[in-house]
Structure 1
Amino acid sequence: MIKIEDVHKRFGEEEILKGISTVFEKGKTNLIIGQSGSGKSVMLKCLIGLFKPEQGKIYYGDEAIQDMDDERQRMLREEMGMLFQGGALFDSMNIEENVMFPLRMFTKMKKPEMLARVNEVLKRVNLEGVNKKYTAEISGGMQKRVSIARAIVNKPKYLFCDEPNSGLDPKTATLIDTLIQEITHEYDITTIVVTHDMNSVMEIGEKVMLLKNGKLVWQGTNQEIFKTDNKDVTSFVYSSDLFKKIRDVQLKENKA
């Protein structure tokens, strides 16, 4: 579990996050949505320690990250997995080397142990036998699955996903969403996903937080989105053609 209390973040005179408080639940996919400039990426960077809030605290379990010394913060970073928007795989490394990279950085495992763990996570993301291939030799969807394998190879307690479906076709995006949710449940991870994709909200939004102008204006489940009369939610969510169609179907069913 991650809890944030009254978090403010500013750059110069501009305040980006304006007193956000919420809880990211363990074993669930927690989605952060909002228009560009709403503060989603800044919140994510505060959560992983790249930005330091001017006010408020971020708790991992019972510990506030601001109260941790350098060694404890280093240990915390080892408990984090990160799925970057562009994948961030190393072109000069093959798939096996890419996935093994966090193990080399953060563990004292011997090579056979690392290889066994790499093969385990590659199997989990349905990529057995691609160890010696390079990123240029596999599809974008496969690259994203390699990135997921690398993000979970260190058995993280916390998984952060920044626009995981960026650049993917709808079918592949759904597969990635499903994989993220399955891994979250299987390993009981606290997963936080920043996304613009309303399909993701429908598929895996076990907890959804809507940011607007640096404020948390609504939170609930993907099912509660259809029941709320919050104007910020309806104006944001139903701008999607997909959600307009779903809403129309639901209205017809309710009248029937």
Structure 2
Amino acid sequence: MIEVNDIHKSFGDTQVLKGISTTFKKGKTNLIIGQSGSGKTVFLKCLLGLFSPEQGSISYDGRDYSNLSGDERRDLRQEMGMVFQGSALFDSMTVEGNVRFPLDMFTKKSKSEKQDRVDFVLKRVNLTEAYDRFPSEISGGMQKRVAIARAIVMNPKYLFCDEPNSGLDPKTATLIDNLIQEITEEYDITTVINTHDMNSVMEIGEKIIFLKDGIKEWEGTKHEIFKTDNEAVTSFVYSSELFEKVRQMYVEERN
């Protein structure tokens, strides 16, 4: 579980985060949504430890990041997996090499132990046929699955995803959403997803944080977001034509 308490973050005279507090629970898909400039990316980078808030605290299963030593912070970062927006795969490495990279960099496992772990995660994301391919030789959806496999190869406690569906067609995006949710539940990971994709909200939004101008404007579930009368939220989510259609279906079913 990640507990965020009243964090503030500024760059020069610009205050980006203005006192955000929330909790991200284990085994749940937690989504951060909001318009461009709302503070989503800065918030995610604070959660990753890349930015340090000037005020407030972030705790990971009771460990306050600001109170950790350098070694303790390094150990904590090794408990984090990250799926980047553009997958961020190494072009010169095969799929297998990309997934093994964190094990080579951060563990002292034997060659056979590393191979067993690589085999396990590639099987989990259904990519056993792609070991020797390079990123340029596989589809965007497959690249995302490689990125997910690499993110979980260290068996993380915390999984962060930055726009995991960016550039994917709707069908593939849904497959990626479902894969992330399945992995979150199976391994009881605390997963936080930064997204603007309302399809993701409808598919896997077990908890949703809506940011506006650096403030937590609203939080709730994918079911509660249909009912909110918060104008900032409704203006944002109903701008999606598909979301509006699904909302109407939801209302009709309830009636």
On whether the aligned pair clears a TM of 0.5, the verdict is yes
Equivalent position of 1:196 in the other structure: 196
Compute the displacement of 1:248 (Å): 2.6
Q: Deviations over 1:14-62 (max 9, x none)?
A: 0000000000111100000000000000000001111010100000111
- Does 8-17 or 238-247 show the bigger shift? 238-247
Offset, 1:251: 3.9
After the TM superposition, which parts of structure 1 deviate over 6 Å for at least 4 consecutive aligned residues? none
Q: How many percent of aligned residue pairs carry the same amino acid?
A: 66
Aligned twin of 1:208? 208
- Which 5+ residue runs of structure 2 have no aligned equivalent? none
Could you tell me how far 1:254 is from its partner in structure 2? 4.8
* 1:70-104 CA-partner distances (Å, limit 9, x unpaired): 00000001000000000000001111110000001
Alignment of 1:220-235 (within 5 A): 220-235=220-235
Match of residue 61 from structure 2? 61
Q: What displacement does 1:250 show?
A: 3.5
Alignment of 1:61-210 (within 5 A): 61-210=61-210
- Tell me what 2:26 maps to: 26
Unaligned runs of 5+ in 1: none
**Equivalent residue pairs, number:** 255
Please say which of residues 114-123 and 239-248 is displaced more in the overlay: 239-248
Distance 1:250 1:185 in 2: 25
Instruction: Work out the CA distance in 1 between the residues paired with 2:207 and 2:251.
Output: 24
Q: Per-residue CA shift, 1:188-241, capped at 9, x if unaligned?
A: 000000000000000000000000000001001000111111112111111110
Counterpart position of 1:241:
241
Distance 2:151 2:195 in 1: 17
- The aligned residue for residue 218 of structure 1 is 218
CA distance in structure 1 between the aligned counterparts of 2:205 and 2:152, rounded to whole angstroms: 20
Instruction: Give 3-state SS (helix, strand or coil) of 2:119's partner.
Output: helix
In 2, Cα distance between equivalents of 1:11 and 1:221: 31
Moved more, 149-158 or 229-238: 229-238
Q: Which residue of 1 aligns with 2:50?
A: 50
Aligned partners of 2:63, 2:74: CA distance in 1, in Å? 14
The code of the aligned residue for 2:247 comes to: R
Cα offsets for 1:119-149 (capped at 9, x unmatched): 1000000001311111111111001100000
- Partner SS, residue 191 of structure 2: strand
- Once residues 150 and 254 of structure 1 are traced to their aligned partners in structure 2, the CA distance between those partners, rounded to angstroms, is 41
State the 1:253 CA deviation: 4.2
